[in-house]
Amino acid sequence: MKREKPKYFTIDEIHSALLGILTEFDRVCRENDLRYSLAYGTLIGAVRHKGFIPWDDDVDVVMPRPDYEKLYSLVKEGKIKLGSQFVLTEDRGKKAFYSFMKLMDTTYTLKRWSQKEVPYLYIDIFQIDGAPSEQADVDKLYHKCLKYSAIMALARWAVPEHKWMLILRALGFPVYLGATIYGMSRAANKINMLAAKNDFDTCERSGRFSFGTARWTLPRESFCNYVDLEFEGHLFRGIADWDQWLTMIYGDYMTPPPEGKRWQHNLKVYRTSPAPDGEKE
């Protein structure tokens, strides 16, 4: 019997599913006094579109390291009860798959042909760590973390999507093999060890150093003050200094990029369990 192909979600359906995960994350954070902010394209979406960037297919949030670690501990100890379909991924130990956490919804299976990925649709939860005071030291930390981020990226490269990627893998096979032997979990743990060396609560500046980030830093206070931002008819948190942050990363973030530069993850998503009560398939 021929297996029926799954019906993959449209971008609007992916947005709806992601919104459900973000809403659960926001609930948990508000109920437990955990700081977080929408980030990157998700934050641009809130500011520029009052919701998702129309072509964007992921959600990014950031948390100061103390709140991030508290979230991890409270969930693992059973003191935070997530909805039954939600799972927090591991970012440490032998089970680490990334150097940051993801909140997944097991209702939605995820397929990504070009690389190994977690099995369910998710939002990314990144850490904001303390940063060195001197830019030269920030650059050194960035390059160290970037090296291990590259190892993680190479080790999870599963199936080339284009012929040029296949050629690149063939030419760079020894590098790919070395990254695979070193391992994603080992690289993730190394990144977290490096990123957490500067204590968020005592440093004057802060930044994100996990998984190939840019060399920007902001005053620590920027990640201590938050406002509510409208997003798809809901209110989610963003840092009060969102304009400074987005300008630093993107420049003119209010002007959408041309069609050829509208980047996506190209996720393939489909439903894997019955729809919640009251929701039509």
DSSP alpha helices (H): ranges in 37-134?
40-44, 65-76
The mean pLDDT of 169-196, rounded to a whole number, is 86
DSSP alpha helices (H): ranges in the chain?
11-31, 40-44, 65-76, 135-155, 163-171, 173-182, 184-195, 242-250
Give backbone dihedrals phi and psi of 62, rounded to 5 degrees, phi first: -125, 155
d(CA 55, CA 130) in angstroms, rounded, equals 33
**Whether residue 167 has pLDDT greater than 80:** no
Question: What are 36's two structure tokens?
Answer: 């977080």
d(CA 132, CA 129) in angstroms, rounded, equals 10
Rg (CA), the chain: 19
What pTM was estimated for this model as a whole? 0.90
The mean pLDDT of 190-197, rounded to a whole number, is 95
d(CA 209, CA 142) in angstroms, rounded, equals 6
Q: Which residues touch 106 (CB under 8 Å, ≥6 apart)? A: 85, 86, 87, 120, 272, 273
The mean pLDDT of 241-267, rounded to a whole number, is 90
DSSP state of 79: S
Question: What are 260's two structure tokens?
Answer: 């050829």
Decide: 37 and 61 in contact? Cβ < 8 Å: yes
Give 143's Cβ-side CA count (13 Å radius).
Answer: 5
Supply the mean pLDDT for the chain: 89
Between residues 217 and 5, the one the model is more confident about: 217
- Taking alpha carbons only, the member of 71, 74, 72, 78 closest to residue 95 is 72
- Taking alpha carbons only, the member of 97, 112, 100, 109 closest to residue 39 is 100
Give backbone dihedrals phi and psi of 39, rounded to 5 degrees, phi first: -145, 160
Q: Identify the pLDDT of residue 145.
A: 93
The mean pLDDT of 208-221, rounded to a whole number, is 86
Q: Which residues touch 208 (CB under 8 Å, ≥6 apart)? A: 62, 126, 127, 128, 129
Query: 224 vs 1, 64, 107, 202, CA distance in Å?
Result: 57, 8, 33, 13
Give pLDDT tens digits for 32-69. 999 999 999 999 999 999 999 999 999 999 999 999 99
**Whether residue 281 has pLDDT greater than 70:** no
d(CA 125, CA 88) in angstroms, rounded, equals 10
Give buried/exposed letters for 216-251 (b at 16+ CB in 10 A, else e): ebbebebbeebeebebbeeebbbbbbbeebbeeebe
